[in-house]
């Protein structure tokens, strides 16, 4: 399966960011899935309530039309309403699918408090495409191996991660380490697409560092981008997941759940 990793630097204007989605799909080079980062709809660092829309609202519907017209599945970060807060949602949309994963683990770390304005999700999400089961996760989720194991238990051969990773000392190294570690934890492919580095915006909000990374089920780096906006296509072999789980049966050998 070909998955396009579409590393962008989203703006605060959802309409402009739709054009980034459209361009990413055009550049997807025959991919079946086009993965964009967390906060594709609108970057962090501004009030999110005014831009949040439901999954059947104009922004998600426009992404669905883009995906359907190119016969691909687009996975992209957006914000949906949730009372006096929003949910941080990864939209999954294409010709025969339209759903969302609400981020479970909120980024209350490194001096940022996502839970102040964002409500947590509660349920892991997988979907099937061309006979392959794919899981979905968001940014800070990658620090929690139990979610990735739960997705593997639901049949995921690969986990698609959208992120807007916070910059700082050691954060790039942590990002790569965590992507590789989660691949080993669940013996699955991990395809992690982050926001490109936008430069210093004078904000403490996590606006991205780039270095989107794909790790195979043995934790090897199969693809890594720079810190700048770019699109690359990863070849995901579900058979590698089966082989990894045969020779490294960490899921079957678990004693604690």
- What six digits make up the tokens of 142? 């990658």
Band the pLDDT of 204: cuts 50, 70, 90. Answer: confident
State the pLDDT at residue 95.
Answer: 97
Band the pLDDT of 201: cuts 50, 70, 90. Answer: confident
Active site residue 139: yes
Band the pLDDT of 86: cuts 50, 70, 90. Answer: very high
In terms of DSSP bridges, do strands 125-129 and 132-138 run parallel, antiparallel, or are they unpaired? antiparallel
Buried b (16+ CB within 10 A) or exposed e, 159-194: bbbbbbbbbeeeebebbeebbbbbbbbbbbbbbbbb
Percentage of the residues of the chain whose pLDDT score is greater than 90: 96
Type and span of the H or E element at 213 = strand 213-215
pLDDT tens by residue, 138-179: 999 999 999 999 999 999 999 999 999 999 999 999 999 999
Catalytic-role residue among 38, 42, 114, 193:
38
Band the pLDDT of 252: cuts 50, 70, 90. Answer: very high
Catalytic-role residue among 42, 103, 114, 186:
103
Type and span of the H or E element at 74 = strand 73-82
Position of tokens 């080079």? 29
What pTM does this model have? 0.98
CA distances from 45 to 21, 36, 123, 174, 220 (A): 20, 19, 26, 22, 33
Position of tokens 């929690």? 144
pLDDT of 187 strictly over 90: yes
Active site residue 38: yes
Nearest to 74 by CA among 62, 89, 55, 92: 92
Question: Other CB atoms closer than 10 Å to residue 239's CB: what's the count?
Answer: 9
Give the HSE-up count for residue 240: Cα atoms under 13 Å, Cβ half-sphere.
19
Active site residue 103: yes
Domain boundaries, given as residue ranges, for the chain:
2-252
Band the pLDDT of 88: cuts 50, 70, 90. Answer: very high
State the pLDDT at residue 202.
Answer: 75
Pick the CATH number of 2-252 from 1.10.3720.10, 3.60.110.10, 3.20.20.150, 3.40.50.720: 3.60.110.10
Band the pLDDT of 48: cuts 50, 70, 90. Answer: very high
Catalytic-role residue among 42, 53, 114, 139:
139
Give 5-55 as a 3 state SS string: EEECCCCCCHHHHHHHHHHHHHCCCCCCEEECCCCCCCCCCCCCHHHCCCC
pLDDT tens by residue, 236-249: 999 999 999 999 99
pLDDT of 203 strictly over 90: no
Q: What is the mean pLDDT of the chain?
A: 97
- What six digits make up the tokens of 79? 């914000």
- What six digits make up the tokens of 129? 């495409």
Q: How far apart are alpha carbons 37 and 9 in whole angstroms?
A: 9
Band the pLDDT of 214: cuts 50, 70, 90. Answer: very high
Band the pLDDT of 257: cuts 50, 70, 90. Answer: confident
């Amino acid at each position: 399966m070909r998955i396009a990793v579409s590393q962008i630097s989203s703006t605060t204007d959802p309409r402009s960011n739709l054009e980034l989605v459209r361009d990413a799909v055009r550049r997807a080079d025959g991919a079946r899935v086009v993965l964009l980062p967390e906060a594709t709809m609108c970057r962090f660092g501004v009030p999110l309530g005014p831009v949040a829309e439901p999954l059947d609202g104009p922004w998600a519907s426009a992404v669905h039309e883009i995906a359907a017209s190119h016969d691909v599945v687009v996975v992209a970060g957006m914000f949906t309403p949730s009372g006096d807060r929003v949910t941080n949602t990864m939209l999954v949309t294409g010709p025969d699918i339209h759903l969302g994963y609400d981020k479970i683990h909120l980024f209350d770390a490194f001096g940022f408090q996502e839970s102040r304005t964002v409500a947590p999700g509660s349920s892991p999400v997988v979907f099937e495409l061309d006979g392959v089961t794919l899981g979905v996760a968001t940014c800070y989720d990658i620090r929690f191996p139990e979610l990735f194991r739960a997705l593997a238990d639901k049949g995921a051969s690969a986990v698609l991660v959208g992120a807007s990773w916070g910059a700082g000392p050691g954060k790039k190294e942590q990002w790569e380490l965590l992507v590789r570690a989660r691949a080993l934890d669940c013996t699955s492919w991990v395809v992690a697409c982050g926001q490109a580095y936008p430069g210093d915006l004078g904000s403490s909000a996590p606006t991205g560092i780039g270095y989107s990374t794909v790790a195979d089920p043995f934790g090897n780096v199969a693809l890594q981008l720079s810190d700048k906006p770019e699109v690359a296509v990863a070849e995901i072999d579900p058979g590698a997941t089966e082989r990894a789980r045969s020779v490294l049966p960490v899921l079957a050998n678990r004693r604690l759940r």
